[in-house]
Amino acid sequence: MLLGHYNYWIVIVLMMIGFYIVIAHGNLIKKIVGLSIFQTSVFIFYISMAKIDGGTAPILAEGIEQYSNPLPHVLILTAIVVGIATTALGLALAVRIKEAYGSIEEEEIQNKDNLDC
């Protein structure tokens, strides 16, 4: 059963890809994309925990005994919509920064700030 944890490993790989994008890239929009990959990896983590072998979707029907766990589904369902709302807020901030600084590259913004002082 060495492979019994593979779902967690995939989640970790995805999460680390998102994390790398957030810390290594200077472009603010790219950072937001990285954050959303990170976010999705958490979604996948929750959903994969809810899965039961031989279970079906949690909609009650006759003749079915085993359902997957509905609670993580609820949590993630709302988290996705909240995620898009907060991503939109982040993009709005990026747009405003572009208008104020003429750039969304982290380093150029910092240079401009340093010049101003």
Partner 1 sequence: MLVGVAFAIIWMKDLLSISMLSGIYGLLSASFFVAMDAVDVAFTEASVGAGVSTLLMLVAITMTGRSEHPVRHKPLLALAVVFVTGSLLVYGTWDMPYFGSAEAPIHQHVAPRYINDSMQEIGVPNIVTSVLASYRAFDTFGEVVVIFTAGIGVLALLSVVRRQEDIEKIDSFNNSMHEQHLVLRIVAKMLIPFIMLFAFYVQFHGDFGPGGGFQAGVIFAAAIFLYTMLFGMSTAYRVINQSFMQILAASGVLLYGSVGVISLLNGKEFFDYSVLSSNPVTGQHWGIFLVELGVGLTVASVMVIIFFNFAGRSENSPPPVSKDS
Q: To the nearest whole angstrom, how small is the minimum distance from the Cβ of residue 62 to partner 1?
A: 10
**DSSP characters for 36-53?**
HHHHHHHHHHHHHHH--T
Report the site for partner 1 in 22-61 (rule: CB under 8 A): 23-30, 32-33, 36-37, 40, 43-44, 47-53, 55-61
Total chain residues near partner 1 (CB under 8 A): 86
User: Does position 107 bind partner 1 by CB under 8 A?
Assistant: yes
- For partner 1, the closer CB: 60 or 63: 60
- Give the per-residue contact string, 63-82, with partner 1 (x = CB under 8 A; - = no): ---xxxxxxxxx-xxxxxxx
DSSP 2: G
Smallest CA-to-CA distance from 31 within 107, 82, 112, 100 is with 107
CA–CA separation, 31 and 20 (whole Å): 9
